[in-house]
A = this chain, B = another copy of it.
Amino acid sequence: MNHSKSKKYNYKIQARGYELDSYGHVNNAVYLNYAEQARWQIFNELGLLDQFIASGMKIVVIENHIKYIRQIKLFDEFEIETQMEKSAHFLLFKHILTNTKTKKTLSKVMVKTVFLDENDKPCDIPESLLETFTEA
């Protein structure tokens, strides 16, 4: 039994025209926008978002590692599978982007985050979030 990993969350998203760069494919920086949105989505789905914003806590990215495997074109639909993993007082997010039509992997994004309290000091991962790690 492993309590340091959450279950996997899925979020569907579609590439938009203004996300393309002069090469006609989604710009490399936009992948981080997608990953960020998947994280907001998880917090929202868990009902933690309002509580989290009200607490004055922040979740801050301290490292991003992105592998670009296949390019994303206009209107491509893809799924972001996200798994959270506790590592010391860091919270890792492992995102895998998969084209929903071709089932091919588009990108892998590893994001290392830390929580800051209302005084911007690093703090523990909130209990309400950790509980999600022990769920079925």
Residues on A facing B (Cβ under 8 Å): 16-18, 20-24, 27-30, 32-33, 36-37, 39-40, 44, 49, 58, 60-68, 71, 74-75
Contact = CB atoms under 8 A, between A and B. Distances in A.
Number of copies: 4
A26 to B, nearest CB: 10
A29 B21 contact: no
18 contacts: A17-B39, A17-B40, A18-B29, A18-B37, A20-B22, A27-B36, A28-B64, A29-B29, A29-B30, A29-B36, A40-B74, A49-B75, A61-B68, A62-B67, A63-B68, A64-B64, A64-B66, A64-B68
B22 A21 contact: yes
